Amino acid sequence: MYKIAVIGGRETVMGFKALGLVAFPVSDGEEALATFKKLTKVGSDYAVIYIEEGLSIALSAEIDKFKNSISPTIILIPGREGSLGLGQSALKSAVERAVGSDIL
């Protein structure tokens, strides 16, 4: 059975744990990168990985490797400081690739 993970600061991820997601609280980009690599290695059973937007900058090269793959799906979420707009722009780009034009 596939799992859903969330990587981010402790304040961001612990609420998701109550919803049944596997929470990976990290303190910096380096720790987030190590966690992300562990979750995306071949044979991993994580189908969806939510990543706090603030950490996605440190993970951008790794995230790009999965841009056109079906699994795992990488979704950027705002942190407790608020949205940086990265998740929305990633969604817009994915929709443009899928539909062929900007409908958002």
Please give the domain boundaries of the chain with CATH numbers for all domains: 3-99 (3.40.50.10580)
Beta-carbon contacts of residue 51 (< 8 Å; ≥ 6 apart): 6, 7, 8, 32, 36, 59, 63, 74, 75, 76, 77
Structure tokens at 8: 């981010």
The pLDDT-based confidence of 23 (bands split at 50, 70, 90) is very high
Question: Degrees (nearest 5) of the Cα angle 63, 104, 58?
Answer: 20
**62-96 pLDDT tens trace:** 988 888 787 898 888 887 765 655 555 655 555 55
Please give the C-alpha separations between residue 60 and each of 32, 71, 93, 100, in angstroms, as whole numbers: 11, 17, 15, 24
pLDDT over threshold 70, residue 13: yes
